[in-house]
Structure 1
């Protein structure tokens, strides 16, 4: 199961994983492998190692509708700390994401690195967080991570088809776990 999950998260399609496992005498359907990935309920585990955290959001598609992927990356280790998928991007969803992030990590002394997105800076300022609007430098960590996620979803034309929001969220968290395992 672990090999199948790692192969899929590494970029192989479910059918490719099924064929790959057959070479080792393991006969599993692509549906079974899909179920392994989602039942594993993988979530990124990391700690904030320094005093900065890169945060961003990106639009992706689910059933032809727009959804917003919010993410936080440690710019020193390139590890994904948290990813969440929301049906909209506004001040409230930004606040929900930051609340989830704060609940998982001690962020009292962290400076958030953000771009000039409509909601991140204003919400951080209003809620009393330290932040810096920056387009380069340490903030590039999250741009690289989002680029990797976008590459992984490009096989689906940047659209998860026939997948519920919860399944897409689980998949993104599993990708984060895989990504973090390669950063050590």
Structure 2
């Protein structure tokens, strides 16, 4: 059976996320990973059907969101250099701003957050959220505009304007955009559903996606070494 073939390749701690489900957990984990890595819901259900598991688009969608609700946060990190930036995203026809921060050494996405506008105040709010989750006592932030310098100063954090080394965060935004554009020009749904999707994508990027600069390892493996 498909469940038996996949049983050795999923994290056992996912079991609690899917209690009382009739589909075996390894199959659900496999379907979620297919969707994370670029398959549409239709493509995912087609692959499952080819493997003998008939499930609806709605079932797969529910699995994705249930895992996002119960997924692990990024591990606490103590980065030395952090790139932070924001990009505009459209949700149901309205623009929002997605902030993200990445550890330049481990390539770990430290956090993401959505705001209705951009500027010093949202940047400070995002950095405060980041400071609550990670040890930033020795971190230097690489930014691309002086507005961030004001936000960093408010929180007692160190930063410098850098247009070269910080391009890793821009590459991550590009990866994210490619994943979104695979299906839609913009998100369709509520802000909360977008936040859940972003959490799931961050979980996939940090824990499952191999990174060329890390010799094929996921960022979480670099953090735990």
Per the alignment, residue 135 of structure 1 pairs with 163
Alignment partner of 1:14 is 2:41: yes
Alignment partner of 1:2 is 2:29: yes
Per the alignment, residue 57 of structure 2 pairs with 30
The structure carrying a bigger strand percent of its residues is 1
Give the number of the structure whose alpha-carbon radius of gyration is greater.
2
Alpha-carbon distance, 1:49 to partner: 5.0
CA displacement, residues 55-96 of structure 1 (integer Å, 9 cap, x when unaligned): 110000001100111001111122211111111113222222
Q: Secondary structure at the match of 2:106?
A: coil
The structure carrying a bigger helix percent of its residues is 2
Equivalent of 2:92, from 54, 59, 63?
63
Per the alignment, residue 165 of structure 1 pairs with 191
CA distance in 2, matches of 1:58, 1:125: 22
Q: Secondary structure at the match of 2:127?
A: helix
Equivalent of 2:147, from 106, 116, 119?
119
RMSD: 1.6
Q: Secondary structure at the match of 2:111?
A: strand
- Tell me the TM-score normalized by structure 2: 0.75
CA displacement, residues 1-48 of structure 1 (integer Å, 9 cap, x when unaligned): 100110000000011101111111111111111111111123542343
Q: Secondary structure at the match of 1:56?
A: strand
Q: Secondary structure at the match of 1:159?
A: coil
Q: Give structure 2 stretches of 5+ with no counterpart.
A: 1-27, 212-217, 219-225
Listed as ranges, the matches of 1:105-116 within 5 Å are 105-116=134-145
Alpha-carbon distance, 1:156 to partner: 4.2
